[in-house]
A and B are shown apart, each in its own frame.
Chain A
């Protein structure tokens, strides 16, 4: 029971991170209908930026944890969104109107490029940072097993909830959100109504990158290590989450992320840690067999 509770906490934390990355996939898919394979690597870039900024802050002797976290978040979000913008501008915008597969290949190329660029400029070795936020709350102890809720886990869940609320507001209530949803439905019509479609798409990429940046900072704080390969694994998981929840749907992305996090945590604890990825993908296939548009996705009605 205690183990289950602990895994529930761990799974929700992991799921929150996946959910944040998955939103980037879902939004980009919604607006231009492509899988942004480089999104996982954007997240990885932000984790490296976080490491650099944490190290700089440590050199200058910033010891206040909230201040350090806030500064790192701001810097990482700013620089990472520039990366999101640049990736879209260089690799995807010229391919607007091309076949569906062209941007996919260019995205895979971008992903290879970003991975190797970080490996070259930042080094191939794992980067450890000293723990930023230590300690936690001991919830209960059963038979010598203590269920622990770490402060980093609280932080991740709180930040995710706050971001999700803000984001839902942005998409459903603001004028930018209306433009964004309108571009999803019909880009030509949106352009005719005097909305700058290219700008909206660029902003969508920057927003997705900003959320990935937050996820990157959180993971850096949570695990304390980063390397240039984390983007690939997290990217695949987050993309799976987006599809599981129904690609194009924001609540779906979050739900999918949480589900994948929980499946992984429980499978690793009770069955086998080696096969947790097999479990994740098998469940994805099973769900898609019965709900081909994902859990919260609208079934698309094809008209002839």
Chain B
């Protein structure tokens, strides 16, 4: 059997060439209407412009790329096959399943150490700390969404709604009623959790993809209301000058009448204090989220989430209250999203509906899935990749979102179970046509 498979991988150079020609032809067809031709606006009327050299380059790259990629894949597969034949497959599977976890634990602790010490090494580099703060917001959102998608198995495409509810609750409470960050935090969390239940209630009977569109619709409803209910949310202009969080009542601002953080501790004022404070704040929030979620997993309710994900009917037969289990997952996921939203509003000082679009939901979901569903460390890695990729791509400016989309596809195709698959199936049913 193995030799048979091996034989199909060692194809002749002529067949490779033919394959690459086919790919180049498809690339030509795809490229003609988009790369080869374009329309230019000239004084109100369109005129067709051609870019044949670019199209030719694109086709050539596709041809060469396919030739090289195909060769690399074949070599890799052949190599893998010989290795697999040498070692008994079953022992490999069980060994890697056990061996992986201590290593991952170490990686986790190392990541925590890096996160804790990062501002010390980069105290004068505002950009690094700022980016790290953004990464942590997404890590926290990913961990929150992980409760709904990864543990309870409820596909939520409107998670950004709860993020928005948290941010706006704080924004409104702070600017209209003068609440502080710490007072508003629990209220906003409760508010988001309430919204989670409101969303969860009508969707209890829905399965997989019906749930997906309803949650997507819910996210859009919240966004449209925020855009149009100008009296409450400020409409498209959003809410500005939201107060920053304080350090136990001490404000982090230049010295003034009230005692500030710098004057209380006798430090010289520096704007980087606030950046670093915000960084540690979100780090603390994220770590609390992490501990909270991992403890929840060990409680009966957490077990019920995972059981519900695996088989809903069996759960009901065992006497588990499906309604309460699903609603609690929605509520807790939403609450964590709400907390992240409060932090976002406090950090930016300005919020508008533009920050809470569907693409944000998609990115958070991508973090959870790319990370490997249910894996806490995977979420961190995926958040790092998805936030840093566009940041690194700043030099490519307009190409960065293009590369971002392509990277999402490529990572998924390369590792369908996520970067750190929580449990790699020991046996897999190979669907027809997968051998290629």
Complex interface bits, A112-133 against B, C-beta within 8 A gives 1, otherwise 0: 1111111111110101111000
Closest B residue to A35 by beta carbon equals B209
Nearest-Cβ distance from residue A137 to partner chain B, whole angstroms:
29
Q: Which of A95, A284, A293 contacts B213 (CB 8 A)?
A: A284
B401 adjacent to A52 (CB under 8 Å):
no
Residues of chain B within 8 A of A82, CB atoms compared: 26, 29-30
- B388 in contact (CB, < 8 A): no
Q: Which of A79, A83, A120, A292 contacts B205 (CB 8 A)?
A: A292
B314 adjacent to A56 (CB under 8 Å):
no
- A150 in contact (CB, < 8 A): no
Residues of chain B within 8 A of A85, CB atoms compared: 26
Residues of chain A within 8 A of B29, CB atoms compared: 79, 82
Number of interface residues, chain A, beta carbon within 8 A: 82
8 Å CB interface, A279-304 against B: 280-282, 284-286, 288-289, 292-294, 300, 302, 304
B408 adjacent to A128 (CB under 8 Å):
no
A52 CA to B405 CA, complexed, in Å: 25
A284 CA to B203 CA, complexed, in Å: 11
Complex interface bits, A23-42 against B, C-beta within 8 A gives 1, otherwise 0: 00000010001010000000
A102 CA to B408 CA, complexed, in Å: 10
Interface magnitude class on chain B: 35 or more
- B218 in contact (CB, < 8 A): yes
Given A45-B34, A48-B33, A82-B29, do A101 and B46 touch, yes or no (CB 8 Å)?
A: no
8 Å CB interface, A190-243 against B: 191, 197-198, 232, 236, 239-240, 243
Complex interface bits, B181-215 against A, C-beta within 8 A gives 1, otherwise 0: 00000000000000000000011011111101110
Given A113-B406, A122-B34, A240-B213, do A94 and B413 touch, yes or no (CB 8 Å)?
A: yes
Residues of chain A whose beta carbon lies under 8 Å from any beta carbon of chain B: 29, 33, 35, 45, 48-49, 51-52, 55-56, 59, 79, 82-83, 85-86, 90-91, 93-106, 108-123, 125, 127-130, 187-188, 191, 197-198, 232, 236, 239-240, 243, 247, 274-275, 277-278, 280-282, 284-286, 288-289, 292-294, 300, 302, 304
Apart from A239-B213, A292-B207: 16 A-B pairs, beta carbons within 8 A: A79-B32, A98-B417, A106-B408, A108-B365, A109-B407, A112-B404, A116-B401, A243-B209, A274-B228, A278-B221, A280-B217, A285-B202, A288-B206, A288-B210, A289-B205, A304-B313
